[in-house]
Amino acid sequence: MKISIIGAGAMGGATVEGLLKGNYVQAADICVSDALQKAVERFADSGAIITTDNNAAAKWGDMVLVFVKPWLVEQVLTGIKDVLDYDRQTLVVVAAGVKSESIKEWMSKDGKMIPLFLVIPNIAIAQLQSMTFIVPSVASESQHTEQVVALFDSMGQTIITDEQHLAAGTTLASCGIAYAMRYVRAASEGGVELGFKADDAKQIVMQTMRGAVELLQATGLHPEAAIDLVTTPGGVTIKGLNEMEHNGFTSSVIKGLKAGAK
């Protein structure tokens, strides 16, 4: 399987990093294209093919992944349309808010449409820990879906959803990773106020979050049930939780997620 990545910015570049770290494909089976030479140069010694020619990259891959800003999607897709082989290749578009109907309108060729998937990962894909949402928009055969899922499963976890829920998935997992990092920052600053050095506070918070995730995954407990395990009557944990709730912790998180999904 040859993978072409068009657009090596933050998300595209993170995906290339994930592919290079993973075992789904060899470096020689990855082609990275970006209009900026600087964006692809960082992969020059990786064994992957690098180019500034989108058409060359698009023609080369079995699966073509397009990572560009939403307002550039039409320009980039129509630019590679003529070199794509609709019988051989699969197209994956990673761009929040771009509708499949628009892509189908831009990419229809002689009454045919290339197998198309809308995908939203997050930047943890570079560490093989992405939560990735996949929408099979035009999947001619089940093997197309299986191949896309297998690719992104190799760099984290995936969920197949419909286009209606893609915005919600984006704010919950793609934007959500920023929300989690904001908690790390806030808790670390609190740790400094409690007397720890900044780096130590950050390490404490990150390990605590890692432990919370591992606990929930291992036990299958609802978060509230897990919270009950560490809240004793009149204890410091329940006092801290209640103070956070008095200041709108849960409400703020839900409002932030809903705002991001609009």
Contact 57, 28 (CB under 8 A): no
Same-domain pairing of 128 and 7: yes
pTM score above 0.75: yes
pLDDT at position 140 is 64
Same-domain pairing of 152 and 209: no
Q: For the chain, which ranges sit under pLDDT 70?
A: 139-140
Same-domain pairing of 25 and 98: yes
- 156-160 β-sheet, strand order: 49-51, 30-33, 3-6, 63-67, 90-94, 116-120, 130-138, 156-160
The domain that holds 196 is classified in CATH as: 1.10.3730.10
Contact 115, 140 (CB under 8 A): yes
The domain that holds 67 is classified in CATH as: 3.40.50.720
pLDDT one-digit tens code per residue, 141-188: 789 999 999 999 999 999 999 999 999 999 999 999 999 999 999 999
pLDDT at position 141 is 73
Can you give the residue range of the structural domain that contains 248? 176-260
Strand partners, 66: 6, 93
Nearest to 128 by CA among 24, 45, 39, 7: 24
Domain count of the chain?
2
Number of residues written out for the chain: 262
Contact 78, 51 (CB under 8 A): no
